[in-house]
């Protein structure tokens, strides 16, 4: 006689820019992936585990097409249904930077935040406008999680995220150009123009949630902002 099959509930959510996704809680075998990744203290291993869980627990066919903030949002939704919407985090009090306190966070309250000054269109000159696309997690990891990411890594990431370059009535699509040509385009910018490109990455949508913490030793109340996937990985 076969053993009983345990039913697993399905849930739905909508990604930040409108895509509807069906997902389920992660199972013990997937939770094991998380524990192994966390114990390694290796950020690349953590991201690999998160991608594997999203692949297993959603109806998304190609996880590699998701943006960084899609990954963050989905992982948080899956985690909430797996271990409970209310999670406890150890937070270091910012006033003395050494006292840690336990703080409960309702994961349903955590949302992707999009800064008001964020735009994927960058006006470089009166004639040239650059349109950017959001990096996939693979592209972001490849160019930012090296031991010592340098300016070349920033140029490569910018090239990966170029969608179109409009020059008057002419539209150049990035897919029609080699990566080296795109990198050269960015290297030819002045400081102000490239600062605007960097602003695109710095203000990208991301998980962000403010919490208040009370330091019992100093009796100081502070506001702490949890940002990005790593903050909610514990």
Reported as a single tens digit per residue, the pLDDT across 38-70 is: 788 777 787 788 888 889 999 998 888 888 889
- Contacts for 14 with CB less than 8 Å, ≥ 6 apart: 20, 21
69 in Cβ contact with 135 (< 8 Å): no
121-123, strands of its sheet edge to edge: 121-123, 128-132, 162-167, 170-173
Q: What is the mean pLDDT of residues 149-163?
A: 86
pLDDT above 50: residue 146: no
Confidence of residue 142 (pLDDT cuts 50, 70, 90): low
Cα dihedral 189, 195, 197, 199, rounded to 10, equals 180
Sign of CA dihedral 66, 55, 137, 230: positive
**Residue predicted with more confidence, 30 or 123:** 123
SS3 of the chain: helix, strand, coil, percent, to 5: 40, 25, 30
- For residue 189, what are its two tokens? 């910018």
- For residue 22, what are its two tokens? 């069906």
Which of 90-94, 128-132, 136-140, 226-230 is predicted with the least confidence, judged by mean pLDDT?
136-140
Reported as a single tens digit per residue, the pLDDT across 56-105 is: 999 998 888 888 889 889 988 998 898 888 888 899 999 999 999 999 99
Sign of CA dihedral 172, 199, 15, 56: positive
- For residue 13, what are its two tokens? 């959510």
Phi then psi for residue 162, to 5 deg, are -75, 130
Reported as a single tens digit per residue, the pLDDT across 191-223 is: 999 999 999 999 999 889 999 999 999 999 999
């Amino acid at each position: 006689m076969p053993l009983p099959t345990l039913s697993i509930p399905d849930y739905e959510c909508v990604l930040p820019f409108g895509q509807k996704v069906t997902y389920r809680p992660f199972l013990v075998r997937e939770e094991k992936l998380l524990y192994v990744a966390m114990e390694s203290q290796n950020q690349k291993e953590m991201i690999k585990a998160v991608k594997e869980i999203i692949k297993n627990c959603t109806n998304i066919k190609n996880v590699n097409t998701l943006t960084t903030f899609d990954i963050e949002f989905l992982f948080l939704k899956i985690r909430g249904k797996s271990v409970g919407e209310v999670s406890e985090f150890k937070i270091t009090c910012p006033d003395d930077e050494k006292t840690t306190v336990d703080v409960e966070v309702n994961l349903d309250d955590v949302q992707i935040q999009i800064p008001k000054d964020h735009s994927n269109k960058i006006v470089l000159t009166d004639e040239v406008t650059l349109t950017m696309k959001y990096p996939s997690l693979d592209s972001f990891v490849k160019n930012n999680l090296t031991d010592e990411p340098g300016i070349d890594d920033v140029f490569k990431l910018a090239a990966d995220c170029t969608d179109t370059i409009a020059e008057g009535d002419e539209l150049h699509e990035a897919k029609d150009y080699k990566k080296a040509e795109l990198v050269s385009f960015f290297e030819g910018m002045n400081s102000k123009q490239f600062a605007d490109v960097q602003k695109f990455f710095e203000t990208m949508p991301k998980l962000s949630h403010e919490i208040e913490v009370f330091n019992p030793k100093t009796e100081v109340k502070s506001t702490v902002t949890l940002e990005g996937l790593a903050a909610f990985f514990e």
